[in-house]
């Protein structure tokens, strides 16, 4: 039985070949930032009020002008379709069933069109800027045609972070059997059998790309470093603004200067994120950067917190510090690997129940009315 995200993580670990589980867990270099994302939540303690009527709890939020049933956004995660056949479609269906936003990664296995056809969730499309701007433009046009509501540009991958475990494992797309992982794959025949019903095991949006069709398998870092443009700048944000009619979201903001610059270009929402500790190591925890960004934007743009959320109380803390909503990556991937669509729904339900219980015990029944007075910022826990 899974009663926490950690329980789902353990189930995912048992069900996936180690190379695939390691890809999900992966952090860059020493993993300092990935650890800090988790640990830093422990420094924010609550200030609870008592004798408040908490018989009705409201955890809905307003984001980009839309009222959402939940503050939880399923963040963009490349290759989610390796965890379960049609994994992105299943996660997007789970999002629809709980009224959550689903963000499709550029680097997903399911295509822009397949996921849009499968789910009625509010969909966002996450973009990486390719050296070949016609590829970038075509992704944007496909997302527009398929009805995605927001474009989420990830800004913290000018080059790929150093994921040493993936390098040791020889992790490729499609995953390949080699001497060192034969036993591991054999121990997970259930996964192998399930994946035989998968339409593909490569980046669905680029099935005809010569770099993919000419090789048996490609290393993720090698492929992305050869295709993503390290020369992306704010000029590209202006260009995207001109070709994308809907709301623009920048994901990977980690300081006040960039937040102000984004606001000056009319960016509707910022995601304070360090990519789950998978990019620049020794960035501070996302939750520690959040107040700086919230203060810099002064309400002119909406702020979303992403990184390290494993408990509903983490979400409550982020919203008390000024976030509108929170993105999760690994928590829903654990659910997907553990039990497909139902597993993602369970991850959402567990976090939501924890949000509700935390709000009740805090004496603050409305999530959207939280402010910093719900936290003991004057006396942070000394750890």
Pick the stretch among 130-138, 163-171, 322-330, 357-365 that binds ligand FNR (CB under 6 A). 322-330
Rounded Cα distance between 332 and 148, Å, is 20
> Does 275 contact ligand FNR by CB under 6 A?
yes
CA atoms within 13 A on the CB side of 220: 31
Q: For residues 236, 242, 244 and 245, what is the CA-based torsion angle, rounded to 10 degrees? A: 150
Closest CA to 161 of 228, 112, 215: 228
Residue 359 tokens read as: 């709000």
Cβ-based burial of 212 (10 A; exposed 0-12, middle 13-18, buried ≥19) = middle
The verdict on whether 275 is a catalytic residue reads yes
Rounded Cα distance between 383 and 362, Å, is 23
Rounded Cα distance between 224 and 203, Å, is 11
> Does 306 contact ligand FNR by CB under 6 A?
yes
Among 33, 37, 301, 358, binds ligand FNR (CB under 6 A): 37
Residue 114 tokens read as: 């397949």
Applying CB under 6 A, the site for ligand FNR has a residue count of: 24
Instruction: Choose between 285 and 362: whose C-beta lies nearer to ligand FNR.
Output: 285
Site string for ligand FNR, 111-150 (x = CB under 6 A): ---------------x------------------------
Element (H, E) at 94: helix 87-98
Pick the stretch among 70-78, 134-142, 200-208, 262-270 that binds ligand FNR (CB under 6 A). 70-78
Site string for ligand FNR, 145-184 (x = CB under 6 A): ---------x------------------------------
Pick the stretch among 11-19, 64-72, 307-315, 359-367 that binds ligand FNR (CB under 6 A). 307-315
Question: Which residues are identified as catalytic?
Answer: 275
Residues that bind ligand FNR (CB under 6 A): 23-24, 37, 75-78, 105, 107, 126, 154, 251, 273, 275-276, 278, 306-309, 328-331
């Amino acid at each position: 039985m899974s009663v926490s995200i950690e329980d789902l993580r353990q189930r995912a670990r048992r069900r996936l070949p180690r190379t695939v589980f390691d890809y999900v867990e992966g952090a860059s270099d020493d993993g300092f930032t990935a650890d800090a994302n988790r640990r830093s939540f422990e420094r924010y303690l609550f200030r609870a009020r008592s004798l408040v009527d908490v018989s009705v709890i409201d955890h809905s939020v307003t984001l980009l002008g839309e009222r959402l049933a939940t503050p939880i956004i399923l963040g963009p995660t490349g290759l989610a379709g390796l965890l379960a056949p049609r994994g992105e479609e299943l996660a997007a269906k789970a999002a629809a069933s709980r009224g959550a936003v689903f963000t499709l990664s550029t680097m997903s296995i399911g295509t822009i069109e397949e996921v849009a056809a499968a789910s009625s969730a509010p969909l966002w499309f996450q973009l990486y800027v390719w050296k070949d701007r016609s590829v970038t433009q075509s992704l944007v046009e496909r997302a527009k045609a398929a009805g995605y509501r927001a474009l989420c540009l990830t800004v913290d991958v000018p080059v790929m972070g150093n994921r040493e475990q993936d390098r040791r494992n020889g992790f490729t797309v499609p995953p390949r059997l080699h001497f060192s992982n034969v036993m591991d794959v054999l121990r997970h025949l259930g996964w192998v059998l399930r994946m035989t019903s998968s339409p593909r095991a490569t980046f669905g949006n680029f099935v005809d790309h010569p770099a993919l069709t000419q090789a048996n398998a490609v290393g993720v870092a090698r492929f992305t470093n050869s295709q993503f443009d390290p020369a992306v700048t704010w000029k590209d944000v202006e260009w995207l603004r001109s070709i994308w009619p809907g709301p623009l979201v920048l994901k990977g903001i980690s300081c006040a200067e960039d937040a102000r610059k984004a606001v000056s270009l009319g960016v509707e929402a910022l995601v304070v994120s360090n990519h789950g500790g998978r990019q620049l190591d020794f960035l501070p925890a996302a939750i520690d950067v959040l107040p700086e960004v919230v203060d810099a934007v002064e309400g002119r743009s909406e702020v979303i917190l992403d990184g390290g959320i494993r408990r509903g109380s983490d979400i409550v803390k982020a919203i008390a510090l000024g976030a509108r909503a929170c993105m999760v990556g690994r928590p829903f991937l654990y659910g997907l690997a553990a039990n497909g669509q139902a597993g993602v729904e369970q991850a959402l339900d567990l976090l939501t129940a924890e949000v509700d219980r935390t709000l009740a015990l805090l004496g603050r029944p409305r999530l959207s009315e939280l402010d910093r007075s719900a936290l003991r910022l004057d006396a942070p826990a000394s750890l």
